[in-house]
Amino acid sequence: MRARAVAAACLGLALAAAPAVTPARTAEPAPIVDALGRRLVFARPPTRLVTIFASNTELVAALGLADHIVGIETFTRFPSEVIGRPMVGGRLGFSVDRVVRQRPDLVVVTPARQAVNQLVDPMERLGIPIVVLTHRSIPEVMANIRLVAAVTGVPDRGEAVTGALQARLDAVAARIAGKPRPRIVMITGRVATGMLLIARPGSYTADAMVAAGGDLAFNRAQMLAQVAPEAILRADPDIVLFAGSATDMRDLFDRPGWASLRALKEKRVFVVSRAEFLIPGPRVVAGIEKLALVLHPELSSPGSRP
C-alpha cells in the first residue's frame, strides 16, 4: 500500500479543447483514497481520462462523461460513443507509451490482467494521476461511482446516479421480501480442461445473484472459481444460469453427463447477459431486475407489486 499523494497536474503538454460541458469544481478539492490505499488530491477536475477495462469505462460514461474518455482497452464494447477511441492495451498487456500518447490527466484502472503492476508505478513516475478501483460487491460499485464523480468535479451527478440505481435495487428487494430463495449456480465460462467457471461467494456477480432473490448453491468462502461438472450435479441447484449465448449453453448441456441435472430436466436452466453480470458497472441493476423475474416468475403477474 502506498500513501503517496499524487497531484493532478498535467504533464505540461497542451491539452485538446475541452468538451462543451466541462466539470466544474464547486468546493475545495478533497483527498480520495483508492483501492490500494493510495491518497490522491486533485487540484482541478481531470478532463482527459483513460479508462482501463469496460467496467471503468461504463462507470465514467454513466456520469455523463463519455466525451472525456480519450483511451480504452481492447475489450470495451459499451457505450457506443467510445468505440473507436484509441486502444491502450488488451489481452497481452498495457502500453505505458500508448497511455501517455493520449495526454491523460487521469487513468482509471482495476487490478486485473496485471494492469496495476504494469501501469501504476510508471504513471506515478511520470506524474500522471492514476486511480485504482475494485468492484467486489454492489455497494463497492456504488461507492466507486461516487468516488469518480467527486474526482471529476460532478459529485451531485454521482449522488443522482447512485440514488436512482439504489431506488431500483430497493424496489427489487421489496418485491422479493419473504419469498423462498431458490439455490442457484451461475456458469460464467469453460476452460480447456473441462472445468467450469462459476460465480463464487465474495464476488460482484454472486452479490448480484443474491440481490435478485437467489441463494448460492456453492457458498463456501474462499472457494475456487473452477469446479468440475460433477460438482454441479452433486450440488443439485434449483436453477442454473449460463452467462453467455443460448447456442453456447446448448452446446454445454447437450454433452454427455448432464441429462441427470434436475434443473435441466425441469427446464430451469437460463441464459443471462454477460454484460450485466460479468462487467461490474451500472448495468448490473438491469440484470438484477431481470433475474428477479427468472427466479420469481410470479412477480411478472398483474397485482404482484407491493
Q: Pairing mode, if any, of strands 49-51 and 69-71?
A: parallel
Average pLDDT along the chain:
88
Instruction: Give the CA dihedral 94, 97, 98, 104, nearest 10 degrees.
Output: 110
Average pLDDT over residues 125-129: 95
pTM listed for this prediction: 0.86
Q: How confident is the model at residue 158 (pLDDT cuts 50, 70, 90)?
A: very high
Pick from 58-67, 82-91, 99-108, 234-243: least confident: 82-91
Strands 89-90 and 93-94: antiparallel
Confidence of residue 92 (pLDDT cuts 50, 70, 90): confident
CB 197 within 8 A of CB 225: yes
244, HSE (Cβ side, Cα atoms, 13 Å): 17
CATH (residue range 180-300): 3.40.50.1980
Start-end of H helices in the chain: 54-62, 96-101, 115-126, 138-151, 155-176, 204-211, 229-235, 246-253, 262-265, 274-277, 284-295
> Are 17 and 59 in contact, with CB atoms under 8 Å apart?
no
d(CA 126, CA 44): 18
DSSP state of 194: S
Domain segments of the chain: what residues?
32-162, 180-300
The model's confidence at residue 6, banded by pLDDT at 50, 70 and 90, is very low
Q: Is the pLDDT of residue 2 over 70?
A: no
Residue 124 corresponds to which cell in the numbers above? 506515478
pLDDT(54) > 60 = yes
Average of pLDDT values for 52-65?
A: 96
- CA dist 21 and 10 (Å) reads 20
pLDDT at 29: 57
Cβ neighbours of 43 (radius 10 Å): 10
What is the Cα–Cα distance from 174 to 179, expressed in whole angstroms? Answer: 10
Mean pLDDT, to the nearest integer, of 237-247? Answer: 97
- In sequence order, the β-bridge partners of residue 227 are 196
For the segment 243-270, the average pLDDT, to the nearest whole number, is 96
CATH architecture of 32-162: 3-Layer(aba) Sandwich (3.40)
CB 186 within 8 A of CB 277: yes
Domain 32-162 and domain 180-300 have a common topology:
yes
The fraction of the chain above a pLDDT of 70, given in percent, is: 88
- Per the CB < 8 A criterion, the answer to whether 175 and 305 are in contact is yes
